[in-house]
């Protein structure tokens, strides 16, 4: 793995032909100037949740081909990871809404 832009763009080497790679690009956001909007996308890409969901799907598929207790464990922890990321997102939304509502009451 090569980090092209910390936290946002990664280059993943292919398994067989190491001269080839695939780029994963994550969404980039900034705080919005609009009080009704939490953030705006500055550079489109995928999300961490989407990548974790893909990994869950892949390991479930591999587990159908050759069942393994390690696959089941990986799926369990990836599902917990996805749950934590979803809770983090919801918390950000709720925190923003509370701050926005509080700020609007002051004006």
Q: How many other C-beta atoms are found inside a 10 Å radius of the C-beta of residue 78?
A: 19
Q: Are residues 65 and 53 in the same domain?
A: yes
Residue 77 domain boundaries: 48-107
Distance, in Å, from the CA atom of 72 to the CA atom of 51, rounded to the nearest integer, reads 18
Q: Are residues 70 and 104 in the same domain?
A: yes
Q: Are residues 39 and 82 in the same domain?
A: no
Q: How many domains does the chain have?
A: 2
First to last CA, the chain: 49
Give pLDDT, residue 62: 98
Q: For the ranges 35-44, 56-65, 86-95, which has the lowest average pLDDT? A: 35-44
Contact indicator for 35, 103 with CB cutoff of 8 Å: yes
Q: Are residues 22 and 61 in the same domain?
A: no
Residue 12 pLDDT level (bands cut at 50, 70, 90): very high
Q: Are residues 32 and 60 in the same domain?
A: no
> Scanning the structure block, which residue is given the tokens 């089941």?
72
Contact indicator for 11, 2 with CB cutoff of 8 Å: yes
Q: Are residues 2 and 27 in the same domain?
A: yes
For the chain, how big is the Rg over CA atoms in Å? 19
pLDDT tens for each residue of 57-88 = 999 999 999 999 999 999 999 999 999 999 99
Q: Are residues 78 and 53 in the same domain?
A: yes
């Amino acid at each position: 793995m090569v980090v092209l832009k910390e936290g946002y763009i990664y280059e993943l080497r292919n398994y067989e032909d190491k001269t080839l790679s695939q780029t994963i690009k994550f969404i980039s956001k900034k705080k919005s100037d609009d009080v009704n909007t939490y953030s705006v996308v500055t550079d489109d890409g995928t999300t961490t949740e989407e990548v974790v969901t893909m990994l869950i799907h892949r390991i479930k598929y591999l587990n159908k081909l050759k069942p393994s207790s390690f696959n089941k464990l990986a799926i369990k922890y990836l599902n917990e990871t996805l749950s934590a990321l979803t809770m983090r997102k919801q918390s950000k939304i709720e925190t923003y809404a509370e701050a926005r509502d509080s700020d609007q009451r002051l004006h």
